[in-house]
Structure 1
Amino acid sequence: MTVLVLLRHGRTAYNAEGRLQGSLDVPLGAPGREQAAAAARALFEEYGIPDRIVTSPLARAADTAAELSAVTGVPALADARLAQRSYGEWEGLTWDEIKMRWPLEYERRHRGLDPRIEGWGTAAEVSARVAEGLLEACSGAKVVVAVSHGSAIMLGSLALLGLDLHSTALGKLPHAHWNVLVSSPGHWSLARYGLGAD
C-alpha cells in the first residue's frame, strides 16, 4: 500500500489578488511561506519521514516543498510533470478581466470545461502527465508527498481515481492544504480530503 499526500503550495501575491498564475513562476509571499511551514510541521507529525518528496519546479511549489524537506531531511525532487496547467492568454488576469474579454469562454470554464483559448492546458493533457509523474514517484514507496498546484492536483487525482476529468467532485483545495490518496493493487481511493494545519 502507498499513501500519497497531495499538498497544494502556499499562497502567493497573485493568489491574494485573484490572478491566474498557471505557468507563471510567481514566488511565495511571507504569508504563503508561513502556511507552508505550518503544513510541513503538521505533515511530519502525521506521517513522519516520507520515502519521497516530489514537487513542481515552479517556485511557489518548490519553496513549499523546501519547508517539508527542512523538517524531514528528505530532499525534494523537482518533476516538471507536476507543474500547473498553462492558462494560456489568461495568465496574469483576474476572473473579472477574463469575464469581460472572453464571456463565452469564461462561462465554458465555469461549467468545468476547457475554454477554447490559445495556450490552455487541457484536462486530458494535464491529467495524463500529472498522473504519470505521481505513479512514478509512488513506485516502491510507502509514503510520498507531492507538492503541486490546485488544478494539477485535482486533474491528477481524477485520473488516478478513474473519474471524469471534467468532474468538480474534488472541489477546490485551499492553499497549503492536502488530500490523501491510498493505493491497493490496481486501485486508488481518496482517503482524506482538504486537510490543513489550522
Structure 2
Amino acid sequence: MLKLLLLRHGESTSNRDRRMAGQDDAPLTALGVQQCQQLATWLYDQGWQPSHIYSSPLRRAVESTTVLLHPWQWQLPDSQGVEATPTASSRAWRNLSLAARGEHPPPRFCYAAELQEFQAGILTGLTWTEAQQRYPDLCEALVTSLDWLPIPQAETPRQGRRRAEAFVAQLLVQHRNGDAVWVMAHQWILEHLIAALMGSDRTWQISMGNTALFEFWLDCDRWSQTGMARHTSTLWQIQRFNERPHLLTGGAITTAPPADSAP
C-alpha cells in the first residue's frame, strides 16, 4: 500500500490576524511553530518514516515542513521558492541532509507549485472588514449569492481543482506501494486534493484547523483497474480524516481553529 499523509501548515500570521492569505508569504506565528513541533513529535512517536515529502513553496508551508523534520535530524535543501519549483511533468527531487547521524536515510523532497493556496487576487492580505471597506459591492455580492462569483485577479475553483487533479495524477504515476509520502499544503487546495483523490466530482468544504492531517492508504497497482477493485474498500483506506491528535490534552484541543485563508 502507498501511505499518503496530507497536512495543513501551522498557524500563520495571516491566520492569527484573520487575513485572506492566498499566496502571500506570511510566516508562522509562535503558536504555529508550537503546533508543528507537537505534530513532529507525534509523527515520530507513531514510527513514521516518510520516503518522499512534497511541500508548497509558500513560506508558512516551508517553515512547517522544516519543523516537522527536527525529530529525525533532517534538514531541507538550502534553495527554495516558486521560481525553482519543477512542473508536475518534470519533478526535480532533492535529497534532504542529515544534521547528525540518523538511523534512517532522509526522504526525497520536492517543492510543488500545485500545492500553493488559492490565489485570492485583489483580496490577498486583507481582513474581511478591510475588504468590505475597499470593495463593498463585491463583498456584498459574495455574501448574498450562493453562486460562484469572480474575484478580480483571483483563480477560479475549477483552476484549483485542475491543479489538484494534476498533482494527484503525477503522485500516483511517480510512487508505488511501500512508499510513505507527506504532502504539506493549505486548506483550500487540500479540499481540492481530497476531492480529486477520492474521485468526487464535487469539492466539499472542510473546516480544518492548522496542522490537521488526513491519512490515506491505497493500492497503487490497482488504482487504474476498473470493475470490482474500485468497490473493494480494503484497497482504499482512510486511516485519519481531519484530525489533530497531537493537540489533544485530556481530550481537549489546546488551540482554537484559525480563520480560513480564502474568502
| TM-score scaled by length of structure 1 | 0.86
Larger radius of gyration: 2
Correspondence for 1:146: 183
Correspondence for 1:136: 170
* Sequence identity percentage: 23
Instruction: Single out whichever of 94-103 and 55-64 deviates more from structure 2.
Output: 94-103
Correspondence for 2:111: 78
**Residues 164 and 137 of structure 1, relative CA distance in 2, 3 Å threshold:** closer
Correspondence for 1:175: 210
Aligned mates of 1:136, 1:71 — CA distance in 2: 29
**Residues 123 and 34 of structure 1, relative CA distance in 2, 3 Å threshold:** same
Correspondence for 1:87: 120
Task: Note if contact 2:51-2:108 (Cα within 8 Å) is conserved in structure 1.
Answer: no
Correspondence for 1:119: 153
**Structure that is richer in helix per residue:** 1
Correspondence for 1:18: 18
Letter in 2 for 1:146: V
Per the TM alignment, residue 174 of structure 1 is displaced from its structure 2 partner at its CA by 0.6
Q: CA RMSD in A?
A: 2.1
Aligned mates of 1:128, 1:11 — CA distance in 2: 26
| Runs of 5+ unmatched residues, structure 2 | 75-106, 224-229, 231-235, 248-263
| CA deviation string 1:30-88 (max 9, x = no partner) | 11111111111212222421111110000100111112223233364211111111011
Per the TM alignment, residue 182 of structure 1 is displaced from its structure 2 partner at its CA by 2.3
| CA deviation string 1:139-177 (max 9, x = no partner) | 125211100000111111111111233423xx2211012
Per the TM alignment, residue 114 of structure 1 is displaced from its structure 2 partner at its CA by 3.8
Aligned mates of 1:136, 1:46 — CA distance in 2: 27
| Runs of 5+ unmatched residues, structure 1 | none
Number of paired residues? 193
SS of residue matched to 2:149 = coil
**Residues 63 and 157 of structure 1, relative CA distance in 2, 3 Å threshold:** same
Correspondence for 1:63: 63
SS of residue matched to 1:37 = helix
Task: Note if contact 2:57-2:111 (Cα within 8 Å) is conserved in structure 1.
Answer: yes
| TM-score scaled by length of structure 2 | 0.67
